[in-house]
Every structure is written in structure tokens, then in C-alpha cells.
């Protein structure tokens, strides 16, 4: 598993200025709106995007938020993972 860092509205792998993968989100009215999940093309197919989604789900659970996956990738991963359904808006 990769080391995931947090910055307001951002979970990322690597350097904050040039991450190899990141997930952007906004918290609105008790919802965590995932706006994008981006993985560097050279790092794709290694599970980084899914790791970021898993991290976001755990963050939502910890902070009692529901996830609104505006990002299609996030919606697909959360929708296809039964244990994530508890935080899906």
C-alpha cells in the first residue's frame, strides 16, 4: 500500500507539488463530494486510484460523511464494492 498524504481537499501519493496520484474532494453539507481522481499515466494499473478511494471511504467513515462521487472512477469503484455502500449518498 502506498503512503497517502492529506492536505485540505486533497489526498495524494508522492510530492504535493507533483503527486503521482491524487483525489480531490469538497465537503458540503455533510457530504464528501469526490470531484476527481487522477493517476500519472506511468503509474496506472497499479491500484493507486483504488487505494485513494479506499482512503477516502475510511476518511468519510471517520468523519461521519456520506460520499457523493461526482468523479466517474470514484462512482464506479464505490458502486462495485459492497463494503463501501454504507458511505454512498
CATH of the domain at 81: 3.40.630.30
Model pTM score: 0.94
70-86 confidence digits (pLDDT tens)? 999 999 999 999 999 99
Domain count for the chain: 1
36-76 confidence digits (pLDDT tens)? 999 999 999 999 999 999 999 999 999 999 999 999 999 99
Measure the CA–CA gap between 67 and 27, rounded to whole angstroms.
9
Q: Residue 15's domain spans which residues?
A: 4-87
Which class for 81: exposed (0-12), middle (13-18), buried (19 or more C-beta within 10 A)? Answer: middle
Amino acid at each position: 500500500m502506498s503512503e497517502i498524504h492529506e492536505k485540505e481537499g486533497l489526498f495524494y501519493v508522492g510530492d504535493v507539488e507533483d503527486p503521482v496520484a491524487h483525489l480531490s474532494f469538497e465537503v458540503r453539507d455533510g457530504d464528501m463530494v469526490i470531484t476527481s481522481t487522477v493517476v500519472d499515466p506511468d503509474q496506472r494499473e497499479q491500484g493507486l486510484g483504488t487505494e485513494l478511494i479506499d482512503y477516502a471511504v475510511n476518511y468519510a467513515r471517520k468523519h461521519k460523511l456520506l460520499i457523493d462521487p461526482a468523479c466517474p472512477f470514484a462512482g464506479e469503484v464505490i458502486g462495485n464494492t459492497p463494503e463501501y455502500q454504507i458511505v454512498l449518498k
